């Protein structure tokens, strides 16, 4: 995070006492803002903190009416319980298969189209962009019925393949649009220089463009990984057998209907579901975040 938006810049020459007074007033004001900032920090971070804190707490501390903020005797029991729940490893495997297939397929297909958008001017270019962004904006819940009916017709419900195809189509537009941005970010001159030096177009592509776009490829695949991993509505509708579901769906059923909820187990399962996502997200967030609003100010 840049800290350039700092107002603490030396002021123009002024009588010393006045400067001092102003500096003190500025310090006080800054401290006040810091207190507000810390309060906001506490509110924003609290749900995540509370999830992790509960996951490691013994049951009697969880169920007590006066909460324990940090447990002094942390336990791994809830994690053991969560993993021992039926189908845990099945759904982890399913999630990994779906996510892997979706990332691989969408990246290959989307990259080709992104190259076309970034490197070529062609008739229909604009129409294609409208199509891509239009689909990006469709609410997924509006597509559930037709996708379900069509998949059912071809016997693809309750099949991982059905979910892979669904995720593919909802993530392709995003992948194309983001990759196009990353490819445009590579200076044209670099490739042209390589071609002047006798490289073929393909050679310039593989030796110059690809390595420079690689971080963008990684960032986009990670984002697709996360979205596919988190996706709830299609996975819930398409995969009906418990052993066939994804981790997200498994977690959504964890709560059950009983009055005595296993909060420790639920929070441990939630932590397990969130950990891969959070780690990956932290790695790529800055690269992806601005794709959706790119160029808004410069334009």
Cα three-residue angle 39-50-252, rounded to 5 degrees: 130
Q: Pick from 104, 133, 193, 214 the residue near another protein by CB under 8 A.
A: 133
Share in percent of the chain as helix, strand, coil (round to 5): 75, 0, 25
Q: Which of residues 259-288 bind another protein (CB under 8 A)?
A: 261, 263, 266-267, 269-270, 273-274, 277-278, 281-282, 285
**DSSP designation for 13:** P
Minimum Å distance from CB 22 to another protein?
13
Q: Which of residues 55-114 bind another protein (CB under 8 A)?
A: 62-67, 108-110, 112-113
DSSP letter (8 states) at residue 74: -
Nearest residue to 101 (alpha-carbon basis) of 160, 142, 47, 159: 160
| Shortest distance in whole angstroms from residue 86 CB to another protein | 18
Q: Is 16 helix (H, G, I), strand (E, B) or coil?
A: helix
- Of the candidates 115, 161, 195, 212, which one interacts with another protein according to CB under 8 A? 115
**In the complex, what is the shortest distance from the CB of residue 247 to another protein, in angstroms, rounded to a whole number?**
9
User: Which of 23, 24, 50, 243 touches another protein by CB under 8 A?
Assistant: 50
CB of 119 to another protein, least distance (A): 8
The number of C-alpha atoms within 13 Å of 254 and in the hemisphere containing its C-beta is: 28
Cβ 195 to another protein, closest distance in Å? 14
The binder of another protein chosen from 18, 28, 104, 138 (CB under 8 A): 138
The answer to whether 160 and 246 are in contact (CB under 8 A) is: no
**What is the smallest separation between the CB atom of 112 and another protein, expressed in angstroms?**
4
In angstroms, what is the minimal distance from the CB of 23 to another protein? 15
Q: Alpha helix (H) ranges present in 56-143? A: 59-63, 77-84, 88-119, 125-137
Q: Which is nearer to another protein, 97 or 143 (CB)?
A: 143
Q: Does 289 bind another protein (CB under 8 A)?
A: yes
Nearer to another protein, 18 or 289 (CB): 289
Size of the residue set binding another protein (CB under 8 A): 112
Contact 263/257 with Cβ under 8 angstroms? no
What residues from 8 to 47 belong to the interface with another protein (CB under 8 A)? 9, 29-30, 33-34, 36-38, 40-41, 44-45, 47
**Cβ proximity of 140 and 170 under 8 Å:** yes
Contact, 82 vs 295, CB < 8 A? no
Q: Which residues, 139 to 178, sit near another protein by CB under 8 A?
A: 139-150, 152-153, 165-166, 168-169, 172-173, 176-177
Q: Which of 60, 120, 189, 202 binds another protein (CB under 8 A)?
A: 120
- Taking each helix axis from N to C terminus, what angle separates 247-254 and 263-289, rounded to the nearest 10 degrees? 140
Site for another protein in 188-227 (CB under 8 A): 226
Q: How many helices (H) and strands (E) does the chain have?
A: 13, 0
Question: Assign residue 105 a region: left if phi > 0, alpha if psi is -120 to 50, beta otherwise?
Answer: alpha
Interface residue with another protein among 83, 92, 212, 294 (CB under 8 A) is: 294
């Amino acid at each position: 995070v840049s800290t350039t938006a700092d107002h603490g810049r030396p002021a123009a020459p002024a009588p010393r006492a006045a400067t001092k007074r102003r500096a003190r007033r500025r310090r006080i004001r800054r401290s006040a803002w810091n207190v507000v900032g810390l309060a906001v920090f506490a509110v924003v971070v609290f749900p995540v903190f509370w999830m992790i804190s509960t996951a490691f707490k013994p049951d009697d501390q969880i169920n007590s009416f006066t909460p324990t903020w940090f447990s002094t005797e942390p336990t791994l029991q809830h994690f053991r319980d969560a993993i021992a729940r039926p189908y845990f490893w099945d759904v982890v495997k399913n999630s990994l298969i779906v996510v892997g297939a979706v990332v691989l397929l969408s990246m290959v297909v989307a990259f080709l189209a992104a190259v076309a958008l970034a490197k070529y001017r062609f008739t229909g270019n604009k129409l294609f962009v409208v199509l891509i962004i239009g689909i990006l904006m469709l609410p997924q819940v509006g597509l559930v019925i037709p996708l379900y009916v069509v998949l059912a017709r071809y016997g693809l419900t309750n099949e991982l393949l059905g979910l892979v195809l669904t995720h593919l189509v909802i993530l392709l537009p995003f992948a194309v649009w983001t990759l196009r941005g990353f490819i445009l970010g590579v200076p044209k001159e670099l490739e042209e220089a390589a071609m002047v030096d006798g490289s073929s177009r393909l050679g310039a592509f593989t030796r110059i463009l690809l390595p420079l776009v690689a971080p963008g490829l990684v960032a986009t695949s990670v984002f697709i990984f996360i979205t596919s991993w988190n996706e709830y509505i299609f996975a819930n509708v398409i995969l009906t057998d418990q052993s066939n579901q994804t981790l997200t769906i498994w977690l959504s059923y964890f709560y059950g209907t009983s009055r005595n909820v296993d909060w420790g187990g639920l929070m441990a399962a939630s932590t397990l579901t969130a950990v891969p996502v959070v780690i990956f997200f932290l790695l790529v967030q800055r690269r992806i975040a601005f794709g959706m609003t790119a160029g808004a100010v410069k334009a």
